[in-house]
Amino acid sequence: MISRSLFAAVWLASSAMAQPPLTTIQDVLYKADGTRFNGTLTITWTSFEAVDTSAITTQTTTVPVVAGNLRVQLVPTTTAAPAATYTVKYNSDGRITFSETWAVPSSVQPLRVRDVRIASTQAGLASADTVVTPVQESDVFGLVPDLGARPLKGPGYAAGRVALVNPNGSLESVTGSPSDCVRVDGSSGPCGSGGGGGSQPSFVDGDSPAGIVDGSNTAFTLSAVPNPSSSLALYRNGMLQKAAQDFTNNGRAIQFLAAAAPQPGDTLLASYRLAATDSGTPQLFPAPQILCAGAGTGNNTVTFASLGACAIPAGILLPGDRVEIHVDLDHQGALGGFTVEIHWGAAILLHRDAAASDAQITARGEAAILTTGARLSAQSWGTVLPFAATVASSTDAYANGLTIDFQGKAIQAGDTVTLRNYTVVRLP
């Protein structure tokens, strides 16, 4: 009986000695908004040997945190062999908010989280207040479905080439010579060649019909034969002319109706398709280009002031271009009249003196771009202001850039002249 009791005492003593030492981590956790943290801490570690040679196996434990209160006892790791740490993941509202690493020293006094937290190193700089936490894709709301919906790179993807969508919905690149043209189905080949080996119809764009524009001549000639003839699009000063009402076409010949005869200064441009065997040379398609548009300001002084301006950059205007200017102004007050001007660079394209009863005035200006300088013309009229037209020339070097300035002043201080709308259009 005595020997059995002695054995039990020895076993209990050895069991008590086998328990490794523990360090208490006790703290109150808060969120950034000042409220207390509620959730759990998932603490994970790998196998190590405690300072008393106790074997600590790989395991995970979950510690609840209620109203910010944290208390957990852990085996010290700073004296472990091999060196060990704890990975701590903070869980709140059903997801991992962040994680950090703990190194727990031996201590008979409770430690705070800051005493065991290991500061991370980011971009080569250690910071005790910065903890780098990996964010899982699933932790970001909507990220996984958004990533699944985006186009993916296919096996034939290459940078710097035209992209096509393969049958699997992935992006690949069109193959071929840099000078090839790309078809709708993603295939490529020499421009102008068809899939069956024959030639596709080519185009002539921006063709200027030959003929004298003097107001009486109605016969003009194209540089090639439109095929089909219905493909012919004929423009006069940027306005599309209607076949049979404004002109007729027979081969290369264009015959304007007498009432639609082009007047001096008009610009004619034609675009049309060609037969496969036609030798016409394709040209770039001309399209009107709005250089500036908007509303301006007002001026109620007797000194000229800019009501609005259009700055045309260098290299935009070329010989043969035509610039159209449309402007509308209002007059408020009855003390006196007002004066408006349109400046083309240093040249005055338009100058009109209006009466006090002119509540509105409108003007149209044109600039035909020459090899050097420009030929200017303008028309204007108002509420009672009679119609007037002017012609002038400009030697401004438009190739270096040019500014169109809309200016106005009142005859009597207190009246106001206001730029309501202006548009500047380039016709190639």
> What pLDDT is stored for residue 126 in this prediction?
39
CA distances to 30, 68, 103, 366, 417 from 41, in Å: 14, 11, 15, 78, 74
Beta bridge partners of 43: 61, 88
pLDDT for 15-26, tens place per residue? Answer: 445 678 999 999
SS3 content of the chain, % helix, strand, coil (to 5): 10, 45, 45
User: Domain extents for the chain?
Assistant: 20-136, 203-273, 289-427
CA distances to 89, 93, 404 from 136, in Å: 13, 16, 58
Beta bridge partners of 44: 60, 87
pLDDT for 22-40, tens place per residue? Answer: 999 999 999 888 999 999 9
| Cβ proximity of 66 and 102 under 8 Å | no
Q: What percentage of the chain has pLDDT greater than the value 90?
A: 49
- 289-427: CATH topology is Jelly Rolls (2.60.120)
Indicate whether 287 pLDDT > 50: yes
> What pLDDT is stored for residue 93 in this prediction?
83
> What pLDDT is stored for residue 8 in this prediction?
45
Average pLDDT estimate for 165-175: 81
Reported as a pLDDT band with limits 50, 70 and 90, residue 195 is: very low
Reported as a pLDDT band with limits 50, 70 and 90, residue 4 is: low
**17 vs 54, higher pLDDT:** 54
pLDDT for 301-318, tens place per residue? Answer: 999 999 999 999 887 888
Measure the CA angle with vertex 169, ends 164 and 171; round to 5°: 40
CA distances to 16, 98, 346 from 397, in Å: 101, 66, 10
Indicate whether 424 pLDDT > 70: yes
Beta strands in 93-196 (DSSP E): 95-102, 121-122, 125-126, 163-165, 171-173, 181-182, 188-189
**53 vs 186, higher pLDDT:** 53
| DSSP states of 296-336 | --EE-SSS-EEEEEEEEPTT---TT-EEEEEEEEEEE-SS-
pLDDT for 147-163, tens place per residue? Answer: 777 788 877 777 777 88
Indicate whether 286 pLDDT > 90: no
Helix (H, G, I), strand (E, B) or coil at 61: strand
Indicate whether 282 pLDDT > 70: no
> What pLDDT is stored for residue 164 in this prediction?
82
> What pLDDT is stored for residue 183 in this prediction?
78
Global confidence as pTM:
0.38
Give the separation between CA 142 and CA 140, rounded to whole angstroms: 6
> What pLDDT is stored for residue 197 in this prediction?
42
Helix (H, G, I), strand (E, B) or coil at 153: strand
Measure the CA angle with vertex 135, ends 129 and 138; round to 5°: 155
pLDDT for 340-380, tens place per residue? Answer: 999 999 999 999 999 999 999 999 999 999 999 999 999 99
Helix (H, G, I), strand (E, B) or coil at 189: strand
**What CATH number is given for 20-136 in this structure?**
2.60.40.3390
